[in-house]
Homo-oligomer: A and B are copies of this chain.
Amino acid sequence: MSSFLEKHQRTHYCHEVSIEDVGKEVVLFGWVNIRRDHGGLIFVDLRDRFGVTQVVFHPETDARVHELGHHLRTEYCLGIKGKVNPRPEGMTNYNLKTGEIEVDIIDFEVFSRSKTPPFLIEDDIDVHEEIRLKYRYLDLRRNKIKKNMVIRSSVCHAVRTYFNEHKFIEVETPSLTKSTPEGARDYLVPSRVQKGSFYALPQSPQIFKQLLMVSGLDRYYQIVKCFRDEDLRSDRQPEFTQIDVEMSFVTQDIIFKLMEGMVSKVWYEIKGIAPQTPFPRITYEEAMERYGLDAPDTRFGLELTNVTSIFTESKFKVFNTIANAGDGSLIKAINFKGGADLPRSQIDALEKIVKVYGAKGLAYIRVTEKEWASPIVKFFSEKEKEQLVEKLNIEVGDVILFGAGSKKVVNDSLGHLREHLGETRGLIDPEKDSFVWVVDFPMFEYDDDEKRYVAVHHPFTAPKTEDMPLLDTDPGKCRANAYDLVLNGHEIGGGSIRIHQTELQSKVFSLLGITQERAQQKFGFLLDALQYGPPPHGGIAFGLDRMIMLLSGINNIRDVIAFPKTQKASCLMSECPSNVDAQQLLELGLKVIVED
């Protein structure tokens, strides 16, 4: 225990001392941000969580204290007592609240010294992320990272306050649980008491939140850690946080309205402006048609237009074949207004992008005063050209980009091409946030490898009432009461109305190739629960990490997590995962048979 701490209580945080405090004695705690030793005067910018105050060691104030001031170094941790003075004329910094004053040090204590940090505690540093993650406790001193933690804390509190005001109850669901069938791999936890048995860490509290509805809790929420043992992409973490919600006796409309309220509150608290509600809605079908993607960035136009029907009798063989394939293949085009000045080299670059998504090439037309410059246009009839002009509103200066082939490849490639153009060609207002509900997702998609249907959302999702008969006739066409909330091209939440009827649930399991035995073994307790008066219910889950990322305007998910893992699921600071004592494994009845 420090004697300074026993004697002095903090009077201000470092961002609080202002011209109004002149003449007062203050006590501040913090770190040496910058030190300028002029021999006579020693200036220290003292930094705490909130800001910086300039403190000064005057030789005249106390010679002993001044002498000790010479020994301070960057990142030393201090407590100081001093008197607030106005800064000398010409030294004021009006950009800072504390910029008009300085604190003349009367007494101080070095709580701890610091080695030279491996990187500067500044916003713009050029240092490999691995170093930052190894010294995360120093990285978190940087405003750029710290502010994300502050935003995150504020968001969580806003979310919880909102839900509490709307009669939701927060319930903790188990972390040691049973495998859920969300498709991804579970993290397992061996049981010592029952050797050879395992818990699974939850991929989501899906079944538990449905059970809470069966138990009549009516409105549930939780901000909860979930786990997926996936091969990580750059925006995935093995543990991630979800804003999890479930409600009874609701329609999609009721859920949307409440969630729009929540999102508005969060945006207002953090950005000071609430987005306009209700959010627009488009169907999955329409999203694919217009944007090629199910999470469209609706901040800009540049939509896809289906031009298949124009080419059913075309002399251009490639298009003709596709237009007549009868297997859903199609031809779509983007009219990139004013893009005709794109040099050939840039069009080649665009072609590389569509090829990533399986397209064979990128057909185009550059519309100049003089001509339609294009390798393919010579095959087009006048009628085809007229129809294109009409359908795509072609004008001089445009460039038309075509995708042709299977529905999946065309949508995927043009969808991503569109996003690329949006991002790189200045079509996006970075201040704008564009929310959209994507609704009516398909129930199933056919998995060619496994030769069976898989659930697009999850196996507990209810089909749309009007599509119910399709379960028997054409399940692939059946739409679900499932929805995503999309922001600027990123899915930030997704949910559905759930099945609350045992018979329907069994039918869906069977369509998914889940045998009755397997269903009973995996989620028998949910099937049992549905036999005791389950209410109609539905819900949604938001990815908190991604939401914070978008709110903070950054693009590295690790920057919004205090202690993140790398893409190899390691913590570079604590060096986990790590070896464990042989004794520990023995107690679990386990043996390592393959080591990396």
Measured CB to CB, the residues of A under 8 A from B are: 1-3, 5-6, 9-10, 13, 29-32, 47-49, 75-77, 79, 111-115, 117, 135-141, 146, 149-150, 152-153, 156-157, 160-161, 164, 167, 169-179, 185-201, 207-208, 211-212, 214-218, 225, 227, 229, 231, 238-239, 241, 248-251, 254, 462, 464-465, 481, 497, 500-501, 524-525, 528-536, 561-563, 565, 568-571, 573-580, 584, 587-596
Contacts and interface: CB of A to CB of B under 8 A. Distances in A.
B531 A140 contact: no
B112 A500 contact: yes
Contact of A172 (B5, B175, B562, B579): B562
Number of copies of this kind of chain in the complex? 2
Nearest to A466: B1
A501 B215 CA distance: 51
Contacts of A187: 176, 189
B172 A561 contact: yes
Q: Top 3 A-B pairs ranked by shortest CB distance?
A: A589-B594, A140-B215, A196-B595
A565 B562 CA distance: 30
A197 B579 contact: yes
A156 B156 CA distance: 13
A244 to B, nearest CB: 13
A472 B12 CA distance: 39
A567 to B, nearest CB: 10
A34 to B, nearest CB: 14
Nearest to A31: B533
A74 to B, nearest CB: 9
A592 B176 CA distance: 19
B251 A6 contact: yes
Contact of A171 (B149, B188, B587): B149
Contacts of A500: 111-112
B76 A533 contact: yes
B217 A146 contact: yes
B172 A241 contact: yes
B138 A9 contact: no
A137 B500 CA distance: 14
A49 B249 CA distance: 12
B196 A594 contact: yes
A560 B325 CA distance: 62
A215 B114 CA distance: 13
Contacts of A140: 212, 215-217
Given A534-B77, A535-B77, A579 B225 contact: no
B117 A532 contact: yes
B562 A254 contact: no
22 contacts: A1-B251, A1-B481, A1-B497, A3-B465, A5-B249, A6-B251, A32-B533, A77-B533, A112-B534, A114-B531, A137-B215, A141-B216, A146-B215, A153-B169, A175-B239, A186-B584, A189-B577, A195-B596, A196-B592, A198-B577, A211-B573, A525-B574
A175 B137 contact: no
B584 A177 contact: no
| Of listed A137, A497, A501, A580, residue having the most chain B CB within 10 A | A137
A120 to B, nearest CB: 13
Given A170-B153, A197-B577, A218-B48, A177 B571 contact: yes
Given A171-B153, A562-B172, A75 B536 contact: no
Contacts of A218: 48-49
B197 A170 contact: no
Contacts of A530: 112
A211 B137 contact: yes
A188 B189 contact: yes
